[in-house]
Structure 1
Amino acid sequence: MAASHIPVVDFQTFNDPATRSTLSQQLVDAFCSTGFVYLRNHGIDQELIESAFSSSKEFFTSPIDEKVKYQRQPGSTVSAGYVGQGKERLTAYVDAEHGIKEIRESFDISAYGLNHLPPTLPLPTFAALYQAFWDLGQKILDCLAVGLDLPDPTVFRRSHTRVAQPGSGTMLRTLWYPAVEGDAGAKDQLTRCGTHSDYGTLTLLFQDSVGGLEVENRKDEFVPATPIPGCVLVNVADHLQRWTADRLRSTRHRVGFGGNVAKQTRQSIAFFLHPDDDVVITCLDGSDKYPPYVASDHLQDRFKRTY
């Protein structure tokens, strides 16, 4: 177990067909119980990750006049470009938190938008990282189909095919959480990222050593998702919970100002894996726990409430 309640699984066993079924069951067990898992030996090059963090820091610490040249267009439902502080409100999903200001910046990258990156976010680095995330996500989907003992072991992979073309909400997001001076971080009206579940199928996350991410446990308590060097943190998102009729959990999480982290900048890089836009999400157990819906409809609904 990790420092929190989140399990740690060695993904290296994926490469051995003899042990892949055991790995698959470990992932399913983790996603049934907590919705989150840390993966060791995930196969994404550490130097590539560090390069992406370094480049992101250079972009986010550049003058605001430079950053807004690449800003996401107001009202756009296409996830691409710079998103400044106060432009998103994830807390809109939780009535008790409505009105809280979320202190962060981000840059969204779709595979088909890689050629529009600023010079400080070099194409070779982020194209390679995007592809590495995509490849790992596909392997995890294959494991889940095996671990869930689905009749069609390709059902998830077949629903995620648009890696480098429009027609999918999949994106890479690099995030920057500025330092907050004084005691501002302890005030009720400020946080770094409000309580939410993720919109897609899976999220893969690298975070720096600062901390602040918290995950909701079975007792409705938020506990730290302590960064573990060399691990990627993976969590179930909304589509996968509905596909599996709540067997796998799209767990709520948030990023707060616990301890002294408010006075430190924080970075993370997330990959949000989504189905192709026209995929119809239907409960795979044959139940009607969730009515069938088109993947893009859910995403657009969440975007409308976020921006």
Structure 2
Amino acid sequence: MVAMTATVDESVDSFRVPIIDISAYTDGGGAADRAVVAAQIDDAASSVGFMQIVGHQIPSVVIEEFTAVMDDFFALPLEEKNAYRTPPEINRGYAPPKSESLSLSLGVESAGRMNDFFEAFNVGVEATQYPGLELPTDHYADNTWPAVSHFQAAVSTYFAEARRVAHVLTRIFADALDLPPDFFDGYTDHSLDVLRMNNYALRPGEIELDGELTGMGEHTDYGIVTVLWADQVRGLQVLDHNGLWHDVAPADGALLINLGDLMARWTNERWMSTLHRVKPPIVDGTIERRRSAAYFHDGNIDATISTLPSCVGAGSRYSPITVGEHIGAKLAGSRAGQANPYAKREAARVQRAMQRGLGQQ
């Protein structure tokens, strides 16, 4: 990606990720208060594609216990962590450094080799949670739990809280888009959700630092909405409409929220899935520690996503696609290096950003 990084002055003057208090929805606020929140969400989704939310009501102790066990796992020797690897088509378990390239999920074949520096551990919804449905066991795979004290319990508790927040957000989305309150329920009652825990600092000698460091390549998220807990450490960067990258870090107690490609499809790009990347800072030749945990709320695998009637306008930019087709192609790109045939518009956005960046050099 050749787009430029904004200066501090440019970032302060022209780019903001708004902080939105969703207490009106989590505390049973009145209709007028909810309408204010829905309007704020609509504005952020239309202009930035990212937002910060407070009032989410995830207890701090849940986050503290979750991040503690996450630290315990990533502190294990690399050979122990590698015991929890799964095949590329199974979005579970451990992903070591340089085993993925998120930019390839966009279908941009020239984006690079598998060189994303982060390591990750994934858990998700299992088919066994829905015994009445015949769900594919590759997408709804059994979780692989490491032998780390309290890991499964702490991660499962946080997973449930993040899932609750994701459903609160889709309820707000329905109001913001003038849809029935339960509109998204039928698309998410067996949602293909995954929690990805990320680590960007490794022990010396575990991996060679060669060339420009890519913590996580430029990409858009795949599904409906992402609920992100992150350290207040520089690294996450968001691309604006002018092809400039901006550093983004959460405010105290806030979760970062961004929209995925399926929401962009649904709304015909009234709401955008924004390109973002991670460039972890290097201090005195050492990568500063940065952690994050992204809860991906992706929708039912058998759901068909078509442009909302209220967003069609002069015509839809996207053909209907199932969640399974879309997510499968994205994962084949990022985890297996296969070109994504469904990402033409996303790939075009990358190319436009590159051209704008070249024009500003």
TM-score, L = length of structure 1? 0.89
Q: Deviations over 1:42-69 (max 9, x none)?
A: 1111111121111111101111222122
Match of 1:118 in 2: 146
Question: Which residue, out of 139, 142, 155, partners 2:183?
Answer: 155
Query: How far does residue 200 in structure 1 lie from its aligned partner after superposition?
Result: 0.7
Q: How does 1:1-307 map to 2 (within 5 A)?
A: 5-14=16-25, 15=27, 16-18=29-31, 19-72=33-86, 74-76=87-89, 78-92=90-104, 93=106, 94=108, 97-99=111-113, 101-112=115-126, 116-120=144-148, 122-150=151-179, 152-162=180-190, 168-179=191-202, 187-188=211-212, 190-258=213-281, 260=283, 263-285=287-309, 286=312, 287-307=315-335
Asked whether the 8 Å contact 2:99–2:114 carries over to 1, the reply is no
Asked whether the 8 Å contact 1:86–1:104 carries over to 2, the reply is yes
Query: How far does residue 265 in structure 1 lie from its aligned partner after superposition?
Result: 1.9
Match of 1:165 in 2: none
Match of 2:134 in 1: none
Query: How far does residue 258 in structure 1 lie from its aligned partner after superposition?
Result: 4.0
Asked whether the 8 Å contact 2:282–2:288 carries over to 1, the reply is no
Counterpart residue identity of residue 154, structure 2: T
Comparing 276-285 and 43-52, the one that deviates more:
43-52
Going from structure 1 to structure 2, the CA distance change for 1:194 and 1:274 (only over 3 Å counts) comes to same
Asked whether the 8 Å contact 2:194–2:297 carries over to 1, the reply is yes
Q: Deviations over 1:255-297 (max 9, x none)?
A: 0034639521211111000110000000002443211111110
Going from structure 1 to structure 2, the CA distance change for 1:85 and 1:143 (only over 3 Å counts) comes to same
Aligned residues: 296
Q: Which runs of 5+ in 1 are unaligned?
A: 163-167
Query: How far does residue 40 in structure 1 lie from its aligned partner after superposition?
Result: 1.1
Provide the C-alpha distance between the structure 2 equivalents of 1:185 and 1:69, rounded to a whole number of angstroms.
23
Counterpart residue identity of residue 305, structure 1: G
What's the % identity of the aligned pairs? 26
Counterpart residue identity of residue 303, structure 2: V
Query: How far does residue 234 in structure 1 lie from its aligned partner after superposition?
Result: 0.3
Counterpart residue identity of residue 236, structure 2: L
Match of 2:129 in 1: none
Larger Rg: 2
Asked whether the 8 Å contact 1:185–1:262 carries over to 2, the reply is no
Provide the C-alpha distance between the structure 1 equivalents of 2:111 and 2:48, rounded to a whole number of angstroms.
23
Provide the C-alpha distance between the structure 2 equivalents of 1:91 and 1:64, rounded to a whole number of angstroms.
25
Counterpart residue identity of residue 334, structure 2: T
Counterpart residue identity of residue 263, structure 1: I
Going from structure 1 to structure 2, the CA distance change for 1:268 and 1:118 (only over 3 Å counts) comes to same
SS at match of 1:58: helix
Provide the C-alpha distance between the structure 1 equivalents of 2:199 and 2:165, rounded to a whole number of angstroms.
24
Query: How far does residue 33 in structure 1 lie from its aligned partner after superposition?
Result: 0.4
Comparing 134-143 and 258-267, the one that deviates more:
258-267
Counterpart residue identity of residue 145, structure 1: A
Q: Deviations over 1:70-102 (max 9, x none)?
A: 112x242x3111111111111324456423721
TM-score, L = length of structure 2? 0.76
SS at match of 1:22: helix
Match of 2:346 in 1: none
Q: Deviations over 1:95-147 (max 9, x none)?
A: 56423721111010113367641132622211111111111111110111111
Q: Which runs of 5+ in 2 are unaligned?
A: 1-10, 127-140, 336-361
Query: How far does residue 175 in structure 1 lie from its aligned partner after superposition?
Result: 0.7
SS at match of 1:108: strand
Provide the C-alpha distance between the structure 1 equivalents of 2:258 and 2:75, rounded to a whole number of angstroms.
29
